[in-house]
Structure 1
C-alpha cells in the first residue's frame, strides 16, 4: 500500500519530519503555494495565511485540518458563510509525543499503525451557528493538530475559510473605520446617494482598496460572497466541486491519533443514506432578475449615487471594502431606504364636446377627468394619436371599462350612468413623446368632430405615370363626404424615410403649411367602399427633383387628419 497522495502532501511533509524544528511559516514557500491553485483544491488541508473556498452538501459535514508546531503561537480562524447559515466547531488534538523522534518519512506497516491508534476526540475550543462572519482568535495557542468541522443543515452552500498563525502581520481583511455605517445622504424618486467613511487599510496603510456596492430589494448581506451567491443561484450547483476526501482513520493512525469511531460511522451513515435525498432536494432555482440585485464596484470613492431606481420602492444597500491584493473583503453596516413617490400629476378637466390638446412624455402618463353635468346614457370618446401609439385606459367611478392601444383616430362608445365620473389615463410609448387630441361628449347624434378615415391611410404613387413635371397619386376615402387638401414640398436628395417618419404628425393641419405648398382641395366620398378611391395628377414640378406629398382630410368642425406622407421623384430625362 502506498501513502503518496497529493492531497495529503502538506500534512505528511509537516508531521513526517517532526524531529526537525521548523519555523511557523516559510514565507517564500507560502507565496509559491498560494499561487498554485491546485495545491489546496479538493483538499482537507488548511493553508496558513490564505483564504480558501469550499462547498457543502446539505447535512454532509466537512473537516479541515492544520498543524500548530509550537506552543504560545497566535492563531486566527475565520469562517464566512455565503448563502446559508452554518454550524462549525474548532477542536484541538495534541501532537503524539511518541512519534516526535521519527523523521524517516517512511510509513509503518498497516498492522503496526492499528496497534498505535488511540481514541481521542480532542478539546473543543469554539463553536458557532449562524450566518455571520465569525472568528476564533487566540494570542497564545498550544501546539497540536486543529480540526475545523463545518456542516450546513438548511441547503447546499458555499463558504470561505481563512486561518493564520501570524494575524498581526497578515491583516488580509480590510479594517473598518470607527464608524462603519453606510449613510443615505440624498434621496429622490429614482436616485439614492450613499456615503461612508474610508477604511484605514487604504487611507492610512496604503493597501490597494476598492469599494463594491450591492443593491437589492430583499435584505442586507453580511458578506460579499453571500451577495455573489445570491446573484448566481442558478449556477451554484453546477460549479460545486466534488465532495472532498476527508482523511481516513488509517491516515490519522499514521500520525498517532484517530477520530472517534462513533463519529466516523455516523458520518458514513449520513453520507450514504442522505445521498439520494440530497440529489432530490437540489432542484433548479431560477436566477433572480438582474434588476433585483446588482453589484457595482466603484474604485476607492466613498460617495456613490445609484440611479434608475423605481419610485416608492424600498431598497437595501451594502458596501464592501475589497483588498484587491488579496481579494478579501469586509462588510460595512448596511442600510435601507425607500425612494420617493412619483409626483402627483395635475388632472386635466375635459369639457363636454370640446377638443383638448394633450402632450405625453416618452413612457410618461397623463390623466384626464370627465364629469358630465347632466344625466347621460352614453359617452362618446374620440382619441386622435398624432405621433406614436398610446395606451388609453378609462375608469368609470373607479371601475376599469376600457383599455386599448390607439394609433391614428379612434372612437369609443362607453355606457353611461347617472352622476358618473370618468378618469382617463394616457400612457406614452417607449419610442418617443406623443401628442393627442381628445374629445368626450354625451350628445347623441349630430356631426362627428373628427373626419372618418379608411383603414389604410397610405398614398400610392403610380411609377409608370411619372413624367419630368408631374406625378399621379391615389388615396382611399370613406362613405362620408369630406374635404381633402393636397400639399407638396420639395426636399433634398438626402431626404429619406427616417426624415419622413420624424415629421409624421397627424395633428398638424393645413394651417401649418405655406400657401405656396398647396396644390388643391376637393370633396369626395363613395357609397360603395370598394370604389372609395380617388386619383390626382400633380403638375408644375421640376425634372429630377424629390417632393414630399401630404393629403389632409378635414372634418365638419374643422379638425383635420393627415394621411401618411409620400416621397416621390420626377423623372430626370423624358
Structure 2
C-alpha cells in the first residue's frame, strides 16, 4: 500500500509530460520551472488523508492531482459540494516506465510539456453531477497519476475534497447509527426539541465527536459545508478560506516573485475576488442558525416564531479531523399562537371585562338588525386602556380610554364590529363595555367633564366638612360615602381604591352619608354642595361620590381626603 506523497516528482509529473524524465540536476530544473508562475497556479496536489476546502469560479474548471506509486492500492475520493451542484470526474494516466526511474537527459521544453498534459486526458474512472456528497471507492487501484477535475456552471462556490489510500476500515468521516433520522420529541409555539441516536464513531471507535444543529426556513442541507455556505453571507467566509486548506503548490513570494491576482494567476489567499464580493453583497440574507452542542444527542431550540415551518439538520463532527457527516434531517411547523377568545357583546347590555397587565381582549358585536349608528360605552375602572374598533376589518377608532368614554360610530347594514382592548403596563385593568344600536337608551349615566370633588377649606370645622361636585343637564341620583383613614393615608392607597366600577353596593351601610337627585339645564349652575356632619376633630376622612344611571350602573367620582380641624 503506497500513500499519496507530497513529492517533487509528483509536481513535475503534474506539470509536465507523462514521459518526462526526472533530471539529475533537480535544483537547476526547479529554478527554471518555478519562473513560470501561471503554470503552477493551474494545479494543486491533494494530500493523503486530509480534507481540503477549495473554491471554484463559475465556468472555470479546477484540477487536482495525486499519484499512486504501486498497483493494487485501495483508493477513496470524496467530493462535497457546498452551496451549488458540481460536475466532477476522476481519471487515471498510467505512468510510463521511464517516468518512475532515475532518468537522464535534458528536460523537454516547458510549453511542450503543458501541451502534452492537455492532450493526454487519461482513462475516466468516475463522473458525477449534482449536489450530493459522492465518493469513488476502489479496493485495488493501479499505479499512476490521478486527476480530479471539477466545474461549477451555476455560480462561484466552495467545495471540499478528501482522498486517501488507507483501508476502508479507517473511517475518515464519522459514522451514522443504524437509524440516522432526527426525531422531534416535543413541539410548542416557540420551541422544538430534537433527538437522535449517537454516532458509533464515539461509542465503538472511541473517537471524539460533537454535534452541530442547523435550522432554517427553506430546506434541509446535505452537508455541514452547505449549511456554512448559507450562513456565511459576509465577505469573510466567501473570500477567505481557512488558512492552509486552499493553496497553490508553491509560495512565489518566498522565492522573490511578485504576486499577481489578475488573469489565470488569481488566488483566493492573496486578495478577495471583487466578483465574489459583489455577488455576496447582492445575495439575500439567509435565515440560518448553527448551534454546536457538544456530545449530547438531545437539544431544545427556543425563540422560534409561532406557526412557522422550520427545517432541522444534525451533523456529527469528528473533533480531531473536523470531518462531518449529516443525519437525515427533518422539518416541522411550530404551533399557532393561542387564539384569543372573543367575547360577544349583546345589544344594550353591559359586559364586564378583565384585561391582564399588557394583555389583550377581543370583543365582537354583530347587530341582528339594520342600524344607522352604533354607540360604544367604555368604562375603564382603573388605568387607561387602549381601544381599537374595526368594522368588517376596517379600522374606525384607536384611542386611549381613561374613565368613561362614549363613541358614536356610523353604522352599516349587516356590519360586524371587532373591539380590541389592550391593558396598561402598570397593572391589570377592569372595564365595563356596552354596545348599542339605540343611542338614546343609555345604560351609563351622563357625566360631567370634571369628576373631581372639591373641599372648602374655610368651611371645615372640628365635626364637619363641606364639599361640592359637578352634575349634568340629565337628572341623576348621587350618593356620598365617607370612611375614616389614618394620617398616613398615601396616594398609593388611594389609587388602589379608585376602582370606579365598584358601586355603592360594595360599601358598608355605616359609611353612607346620603343620596339625592339634582340636575340643571344651565351647565354653569349644575353644581351641588353637601355638608357632612358627625365627624371627629383632627381626623382624616375619605369621601366618595357615586352617580347612578337609569339602568342601575354607577360611576364613582375621584376620591377626596379631607381632615377636620383639631381645635375649634
TM-score between both structures, scaled by the size of structure 2:
0.66
| Runs (5+) with no aligned partner, structure 1 | 1-8, 20-40, 249-265, 269-274, 460-475, 533-538, 568-574
Would the alpha carbon gap of residues 163 and 126 (structure 1) be closer, same or farther in structure 2, given more than 3 Å must change? same
Deviation at 1:82, TM superposition (A): 1.9
1:372 is matched with: 367
Counterparts of residues 369-518 of structure 1 (less than 5 Å): 369-385=364-380, 387=383, 389-390=385-386, 392-395=388-391, 398-402=392-396, 404=398, 406-408=400-402, 410-418=405-413, 420-426=414-420, 428=422, 435-445=430-440, 449=444
1:378 Cα deviation from its structure 2 partner: 0.7
1:213 Cα deviation from its structure 2 partner = 2.5
Aligned counterparts of 2:128 and 2:92: Cα–Cα separation in 1: 16
**Distance in 2 between residues matched to 1:458 and 1:171, nearest whole Å:** 85
| Stretch deviating more after TM superposition (435-444 or 479-488) | 479-488
| Pair 1:211 & 2:207 matched | no
Write the deviation string for residues 504-535 of structure 1: whole angstroms up to 9, x where unpaired: 9776778879999999999999968xxx9xxx
Give 1:349's aligned residue.
Answer: 344
Q: Which residue of 1 aligns with 2:463?
A: none
Counterpart CA distance in 1 for 2:114 and 2:236 is 40
Structure-to-structure mapping, 1:355-366, within 5 angstroms: 355-361=350-356, 365-366=360-361
Structure 1: distance between partners of 2:66 and 2:485: 87
Q: Is the 8 Å Cα contact of residues 451 and 561 (structure 1) preserved in structure 2? A: no
C-alpha separation between the residues in 2 aligned to 1:96 and 1:175?
39
Residue-by-residue CA offset, 1:140-199 (whole Å, 9 max, x unaligned): 222333322222222222222222222535423211112212233444444444332222
Q: Give 2:285's aligned residue.
A: 287
| Residues 227-278 of structure 1 deviation map (CA, whole Å, 9 limit, x = unaligned) | 2322332446754459977679xxxxxxxxxxxxxxxxx989xxxxxx9987
Contact 1:452 1:480 in 2 (8 A): no
Contact (CA 8 Å) 2:234, 2:281: kept in 1 or not?
Answer: no
SS at match of 1:233: coil
Cα-to-partner distance string for 1:370-421 (whole Å, 9 max, x where unaligned): 23344421111233456574452423xx442435253435543222234x35
Q: Which residue of 1 aligns with 2:116?
A: 119
Residues 314 and 242 of structure 1, relative CA distance in 2, 3 Å threshold: closer
Contact 1:16 1:103 in 2 (8 A): no
Whole-Å separation in 2 of the counterparts to 1:515 and 1:43: 101
| CA distance in structure 1 between the partners assigned to 2:117 and 2:42 by the alignment | 26
CA contact (8 A) 2:348 2:443 kept: no
Decide which moves more: 235-244 or 130-139. Answer: 235-244
Give runs of aligned pairs for residues 37-186 of structure 1, distance below 5 A.
Answer: 44-95=44-95, 97-102=97-102, 112-114=109-111, 119-120=116-117, 122-123=121-122, 124-168=124-168, 170-186=170-186
- Whole-Å separation in 2 of the counterparts to 1:550 and 1:85: 81
Tell me the equivalent position of 1:336: 331
1:301 equivalent in alignment to 2:259: no
Match of 2:464 in 1: none
1:52-103, Cα deviation, whole Å (9 max, x unpaired): 2223332233223333333222222222222222222222333454343449
Take 2:6 and 2:491, find their aligned partners in 1: how far apart are those partners? 74
Q: Find the counterpart in structure 2 of residue 263 from structure 1.
A: none
Structure 1 residues 180 and 282: CA distance shift in structure 2, 3 A: closer
Q: For 1:510 and 1:344, locate their aligned partners in 2 and report how far apart those are by CA, in whole Å.
A: 37
In the aligned structure 2, how far is the partner of 1:115 from the partner of 1:220? 48
Residues 92 and 246 (structure 1), Cα distance of their counterparts in 2 relative to 1, 3 Å cut: farther
SS at match of 1:50: coil
Partner secondary structure for residue 168 of structure 1: coil
Higher alpha-carbon deviation: 204-213 or 554-563 = 554-563
What are the equivalent positions in structure 2 for 1:167-246 lying under 5 Å apart? 167-168=167-168, 170-235=170-235, 239-240=239-240
**What is the aligned partner in structure 2 of residue 257 from structure 1?**
none
Q: Mind listing any 5+ residue stretches in structure 2 that lack a counterpart?
A: 14-20, 23-40, 251-262, 266-272, 454-468, 528-534, 562-568
Q: Which residue of 1 aligns with 2:313?
A: 318
Q: Which residue of 2 aligns with 1:12?
A: 8
C-alpha displacement at 1:127, in angstroms?
A: 1.7
Cα–Cα, structure 1 residues 384 and 210, in superposed 2: closer, same or farther, change >3 Å?
Answer: farther
TM-score normalised to the size of structure 1?
0.65
CA contact under 8 A between 2:387 and 2:401: conserved in structure 1?
no
d(CA) in 2 for partners of 1:230 and 1:488? 71
Secondary structure of the equivalent of 1:176?
A: coil
CA-atom RMSD, angstroms?
5.6
Computing the radius of gyration from Cα coordinates, the structure with the larger value is 2
CA distance in 1, matches of 2:384, 2:9: 76
Cα pair distance change 1:448/1:224, threshold 3 Å: same
Question: Is the 1:383–1:437 contact (alpha carbons within 8 Å) kept by the matching residues of 2?
Answer: yes
